Amino acid sequence: MLVLFETAAGYAIFKVIDESKLQEVDSLWKEFETPEKANKVVKLKHFEKFQDTTEALAAATALVEGKIGKSLKKILKKVAATEAHEQLAISDAKLGGVIKEKLNLSCIHSPAVAELMRGIRNQMEGLITGLPPREISAMSLGLAHSLSRYKLKFSPDKVDTMIVQAISLLDDLDKELNNYVMRCREWYGWHFPELGKVVTDNMAYCKTVLKIGERTNVAGSDLSDLLPEEIEGEVKLAAEISMGTEVSEQDINNIKHLCDQVIEITEYRAQLYDYLKNRMMAIAPNLTVMVGELVGARLISHAGSLLNLAKHPASTVQILGAEKALFRALKTRKDTPKYGLIYHASLVGQTTAKNKGKISRMLAAKASLAIRYDALGEDTNAEMGVENRAKLEARLRQLEEKGIRRISGTGKAMAKADKYQHKSEVKMYDPSGDSTIPSTSKKRKFEEVEEAEEPVTPVTQKTKKPKKEPVAEEEAAQMETEETPKKKKKKKEKKEEAVAEEPKEEEQEEEVTEATEKKKKKKKKKVKEEEED
Amino acid sequence: MRPGFSPRGDRGGRGRGGYGDRGGFGDRGGRGRGGFGDRGGRGGFGDRGGFRGGRGGFRSPEGGFRGRGGGRGTPRGRGGRGGFGAGRKVLVEPHRHEGVFICRGKEDALVTKNMVVGESVYGEKRINVEEGETKIEYRAWNPFRSKLAAAILGGIDQIHIKPGAKIMYLGAASGTTVSHVSDIVGPEGLVYAVEFSHRSGRDLLNVAKKRTNIIPIIEDARHPHKYRMLVGMVDVIFADVAQPDQTRIVALNAHNFLKNNGHFVISIKANCIDSTAAPEAVFASEVKKMSGENMKPQEQLTLEPYERDHAVVVGVYRPTPKQKK
């Protein structure tokens, strides 16, 4: 009798040496206690090893379904060729029936056979020579994983690890690119600093540096394809009068290498972004339609995986990314944030500030449905996402129009908003109103200084029994200073004062002498007090 | 002459390695250069362990040191740490069962030694302990989620799951208890995890990816011949299937894969077998069914206070008859 024994490494055919032992089913286990004893009962006749994991996987799936796989057919044909009269002991009765049909081999399955199988399984390593036990366990592990993945219809398209890694790489590249460009600018700025100030775009800067190399080549080179004309002209001009130092050929070469790197990384970044967009559309089409690729990818990477993201309630999706603000607000019993990463979605971006909160909540609710559909649904199409987005946009329009509906009339008519007209109203600051002490503008000419000082004294004296002489002049001075605040333009003020000053200069000279004695205002006040006393 | 464009794989690789860990926590801390990123990813456990000496006893005379300790103590953003906050002094001692440990601190917890350091399978707490130079990480085992942990805490005599053993786990679900069993048996042992549900199967597959001693089998446990190709002989069958015919399922698997004198540990949910009968009656009937299948029950334990109307039965399969001479 032959025994068919399936392992993860391959098919094994054993020949039962001593068939009488099979009669005593209960004590059969004794025969398999040690490898030596086992070898006396059964002997390995043939071992068909699986070539690779695909073959093993095919054999395993055939076994699960109870069919004969290719490798099994091969080995059984060999058996049929040599020993067709022998019976074949197998573990699965159904399989036995199929073998009998197809290959005309009589199969048996009985309790004795089951015991036999147990024994063989116990002593698997000892019986199947030429196969180290490590290999069997490694093969069975690999086969189990492939079989499980096959069962779960694992599709490499729907792996969201790619998204998580791609978005992190995108952020990394941006940081690195920025660093490199800054370094390049600083380095080349040693030789030609003006270029950095003239050319603001990073890519254009690097390409320009690559093209011109040494500053002296600028005049001869043609930068029209890299830079717009005016800037090119400015560059050429700056190259003539640059204050940078000379650098050697080797230095320029190294800088050029750096510029090469920058350009390569920028191109790679663009390529990566495309790749990310494709993957997002393949993995989560509904989410992509609703919030966009970048925001969707950030949400997935923040949650860890698409399935994790699907487990979050909509309120969490709304504030994913604002955890610091959220917990701070919760601890201090303040208002929690209204949006997190969702803020950067186009739907939220295009609303007014007042409605951002409402839209963010609505978008989070619908997006959460889309995420769950993508993560757990069977088929992958973007219909649901498109529908939801249309609904949201309609609601958005409603929100914005809610405030401007006509009150009277039909009520349903829409109030017409005024066409936006830019009323250019430039208001100038009026400095005269900020001090009760009548003074002129701050920028005073030499003549004004004297004039400014002298009104101080007359005013104070006016309030407390002024002498008669200064009275008339005080009033005149006061009139003058009252006039000046009314005029807006300071230049005119100065002119008028200057004009008014001159005729009065002679008159005021007396007071000027008084004023010059008391130079600082504080001192003057004290003096006045003394005078009053 | 041109320096080749290396696509920053090295930094990307390191970043990626750290990121996977962080992704699990949903924590996008700043990823700076150098070692700072790794420190962030560990959730501050490794870093704070260093300060344990200073904080534990507050014995340091420097006021500055205490101030630093105070500063670290207040921000409890993670919340719900229980007895094992950052920097708490804990003592881990082995349990009577081999491979299982007890963590003694403000509150005691059942822990297993983490085979995949730095990773949490279902968000459980991890405890880092330094023994001389080596750092060992343990994972807390929740008895409310795991029947095996509830049985151990209930005082079961023998679980038979020990380092180096081969276990067949029927009803693996998402792999939460399977991961702890895998920790116990260690790299020398094997756990054949059988789970029929596809959803749970996906999570199980993820757990099995990290732990090479778990062999995931997405099949119905009622038909052991379907996965006979993947399984060798096992020492222990652990069953947590919650099916009315679970004894028959275990028996079928035992006939196929359980060695002589092997043991079985079955968790019985009374409601599941027969919701109308009394739990004790259900347990008794199950025990009777087992005896008929050449499975000899040795002990039975109810899982109060962790579960209601649950019991765990441990027994031996095909025991060698005691020879009376």
Per-residue pLDDT band for B85 (boundaries 50, 70, 90) equals low
A16 vs A75: CA distance, rounded Å? 18
Q: Which residues of A touch B12 (CB under 8 A)?
A: 169, 172
Can you read off the two tokens belonging to residue A440? 């002129």
The angle subtended at Cα A32 by Cα B216 and Cα A37, nearest 5°, is 135
- Determine whether the interchain pair A143/B3 forms a contact, defined as Cβ–Cβ distance below 8 Å: no
Q: Which residues of B touch A113 (CB under 8 A)?
A: none
- Determine whether the interchain pair B229/A63 forms a contact, defined as Cβ–Cβ distance below 8 Å: yes
A194 vs A243: CA distance, rounded Å? 8
Q: Pick A124's closest partner by Cβ from B5, B218, B232.
A: B232
> Which pLDDT belongs to residue A412?
61
A114 vs B294: CA distance, rounded Å? 15
Closest chain A residue by Cα to residue B166:
A137
Closest CA to B207 of B148, B149, B123: B123
Closest CA to B179 of B217, B155, B159, B205: B205
- Determine whether the interchain pair B230/A165 forms a contact, defined as Cβ–Cβ distance below 8 Å: no
Helix axes A249-283, A202-212, angle to 10 degrees: 140
Number of other CB atoms surrounding residue A257 within 10 Å: 14
Strand order in the sheet with B166-170: B214-217, B190-194, B166-170, B234-239, B258-269, B310-317, B295-302
Q: Pick A122's closest partner by Cβ from B2, B227, B233.
A: B233
Residue A47 bridge partners (DSSP): A12
- Determine whether the interchain pair A144/B230 forms a contact, defined as Cβ–Cβ distance below 8 Å: yes
CA dihedral A313, A318, A324, A327 (to 10 degrees): -50
Per-residue pLDDT of chain A (533 residues; tens, 9 = 90+): 888 999 888 898 888 888 888 788 778 888 888 888 888 888 888 888 888 889 999 999 998 888 888 888 888 888 888 877 788 888 888 888 888 888 888 888 888 888 889 988 988 888 888 778 788 888 899 999 999 999 888 777 778 889 999 999 999 999 999 999 999 999 999 999 999 999 999 999 999 999 988 888 888 888 888 888 888 888 888 888 888 888 899 999 999 999 999 999 999 999 999 999 999 999 999 999 999 999 999 999 999 989 889 999 999 999 999 999 999 999 999 999 999 999 999 999 999 998 999 999 999 999 999 999 999 887 788 899 999 999 999 999 988 887 666 556 665 666 667 778 787 778 888 887 887 776 565 665 565 555 545 544 444 444 444 445 444 444 444 454 444 444 444 444 444 444 444 455 444 544 444 445 445 555 555 555 555 54
A320 vs A310: CA distance, rounded Å? 13
Q: Which residues of A touch B201 (CB under 8 A)?
A: 148, 151-152
Strand order in the sheet with A107-108: A42-49, A10-16, A2-6, A88-89, A107-108
Closest chain A residue by Cα to residue B193:
A144
Q: Which residues of A touch B256 (CB under 8 A)?
A: 114, 117-118
Q: Are A59 and A71 in contact (CB under 8 A)?
A: yes
Q: Pick A148's closest partner by Cβ from B11, B77, B217.
A: B217
For the cut 60, the answer to whether the pLDDT of residue B223 exceeds it is yes
A156: which DSSP letter? G
Residue corresponding to tokens 């990626």 = B16
Q: Which residues of B touch A29 (CB under 8 A)?
A: 260, 318
B301 vs B159: CA distance, rounded Å? 12
More confident residue, A45 or B323: A45
- Determine whether the interchain pair B26/A264 forms a contact, defined as Cβ–Cβ distance below 8 Å: no
Q: Are B220 and B228 in contact (CB under 8 A)?
A: no
Q: Are A481 and A458 in contact (CB under 8 A)?
A: no
Q: Pick B26's closest partner by Cβ from A117, A173, A302.
A: A302
A150 vs A146: CA distance, rounded Å? 6
Closest chain B residue by Cα to residue A298:
B28
Number of other CB atoms surrounding residue B63 within 10 Å: 8
Label residue B134 exposed, middle or buried (CB < 10 Å: 0-12, 13-18, 19+).
exposed
Q: Is A130 left (phi over 0), alpha (psi -120 to 50) or beta?
A: left
Q: What is the largest CA-CA distance in chain A?
A: 152
Per-residue pLDDT band for B38 (boundaries 50, 70, 90) equals very low
Q: A107: distance to nearest CA of chain B, Å?
A: 16
Q: B192: distance to nearest CA of chain A, Å?
A: 10
Q: Which residues of A touch B218 (CB under 8 A)?
A: 147-148, 151-152
Q: Which residues of A touch B2 (CB under 8 A)?
A: 257, 260
How far is residue A157 from each of residues A160, A280, A283, A350, B136, measured CA to CA in Å?
A: 8, 10, 7, 33, 38
Looking at every residue in chain B, the average pLDDT score rounds to: 80
> Which pLDDT belongs to residue A69?
87
Q: B59: distance to nearest CA of chain A, Å?
A: 31
Q: Which residues of A touch B227 (CB under 8 A)?
A: 64
B239 vs B247: CA distance, rounded Å? 9
- Determine whether the interchain pair A304/B19 forms a contact, defined as Cβ–Cβ distance below 8 Å: no
Q: Which residues of B touch A257 (CB under 8 A)?
A: 2-3
Chain-centre distance of CA B291, in angstroms?
30
B109-113 and B100-104 as β-strands: parallel, antiparallel, unpaired?
Answer: antiparallel
Give the global pTM: 0.64
Instruction: Tell me the residue length of chain A.
Output: 533
Q: Which residues of A touch B259 (CB under 8 A)?
A: 122
- Determine whether the interchain pair B216/A144 forms a contact, defined as Cβ–Cβ distance below 8 Å: yes
Q: Mutation test of the interface with chain B: which of A90, A122, A145, A148, choosing the one with the most B Cβ atoms within 10 A? A: A148
The set of residues, in sequence order, having a beta carbon less than 8 Å from that of A302 and lying 6+ positions away, is: A309, A320, A321, A341, B26, B28
Q: Which residues of A touch B228 (CB under 8 A)?
A: 6, 63, 91-92
Interface residues of B toward A, Cβ cutoff 8 Å, are 2-3, 5, 7-8, 11-12, 15-16, 19, 23-24, 26, 28, 77, 190, 198, 201-202, 205, 208-209, 212, 215-219, 225-233, 255-257, 259-260, 318
How many Cβ contacts (< 8 angstroms) between chains A and B? 103
pLDDT tens across B114-167, in order? 999 999 999 899 999 988 889 999 999 999 999 999 999 999 999 999 999 999
Closest chain B residue by Cα to residue A133:
B232
Report the b/e string of A450-476 with b at 16+ CB within 10 A: bbbbbbbbbbbbbeeebeeebeebbee
- Determine whether the interchain pair B218/A152 forms a contact, defined as Cβ–Cβ distance below 8 Å: yes
HEC secondary structure over A7-43: CCCEEEEEEECCHHHHHCCCCHHHHCCCHHHHHHHEE
For the cut 80, the answer to whether the pLDDT of residue B234 exceeds it is yes
SS3 A99: helix
Q: Which residues of B touch A137 (CB under 8 A)?
A: 190
Q: A160: distance to nearest CA of chain B, Å?
A: 12
SS3 B129: strand
B109-113 and B134-140 as β-strands: parallel, antiparallel, unpaired?
Answer: antiparallel
pLDDT tens across A390-423, in order? 999 999 998 888 766 655 666 566 666 777 878 7
Mean pLDDT, range B14-27, rounded to an integer: 38
Q: Pick A64's closest partner by Cβ from B190, B226, B257.
A: B226
- Determine whether the interchain pair B228/A327 forms a contact, defined as Cβ–Cβ distance below 8 Å: no
A440 vs A483: CA distance, rounded Å? 10
Closest CA to B243 of B286, B296, B193, B192: B286
Q: Which residues of B touch A141 (CB under 8 A)?
A: 212, 215
A414: which DSSP letter? B
- Determine whether the interchain pair A6/B215 forms a contact, defined as Cβ–Cβ distance below 8 Å: no
Chain-centre distance of CA A492, in angstroms?
58
Q: Pick A327's closest partner by Cβ from B5, B77, B212.
A: B77
Nearest 5°: phi and psi at A161?
-60, -35
Number of other CB atoms surrounding residue A530 within 10 Å: 8
- Determine whether the interchain pair B230/A264 forms a contact, defined as Cβ–Cβ distance below 8 Å: no
What's the ipTM?
0.73
Label residue B98 exposed, middle or buried (CB < 10 Å: 0-12, 13-18, 19+).
middle
Q: By 3-state DSSP, what share of chain A in percent is helix, strand and coil, each rounded to 5? A: 65, 5, 30
Number of other CB atoms surrounding residue B132 within 10 Å: 5
Q: Are B136 and B113 in contact (CB under 8 A)?
A: yes
Written as one string, the DSSP assignment of B55-110 is HHH-----HHHHHHHHHHHS---S---TT--TT---EEEE-SSTTEEEEESSS-EE
Q: Are A188 and A255 in contact (CB under 8 A)?
A: yes
Helices (H), A345-430: 346-349, 353-376, 383-402
- Determine whether the interchain pair A168/B19 forms a contact, defined as Cβ–Cβ distance below 8 Å: yes
Q: B109: distance to nearest CA of chain A, Å?
A: 28
More confident residue, A33 or B284: B284
A29 vs A6: CA distance, rounded Å? 20
Q: Which residues of A touch B7 (CB under 8 A)?
A: 268
> Which pLDDT belongs to residue A448?
52
Q: Are A293 and A392 in contact (CB under 8 A)?
A: no
Q: Pick A152's closest partner by Cβ from B201, B208, B209.
A: B201
Q: Are A30 and A20 in contact (CB under 8 A)?
A: no
Q: Pick A168's closest partner by Cβ from B15, B229, B231.
A: B15
Closest CA to A307 of A373, A381, A387: A373
Closest chain A residue by Cα to residue B7:
A265
B310-317 and B295-302 as β-strands: parallel, antiparallel, unpaired?
Answer: antiparallel
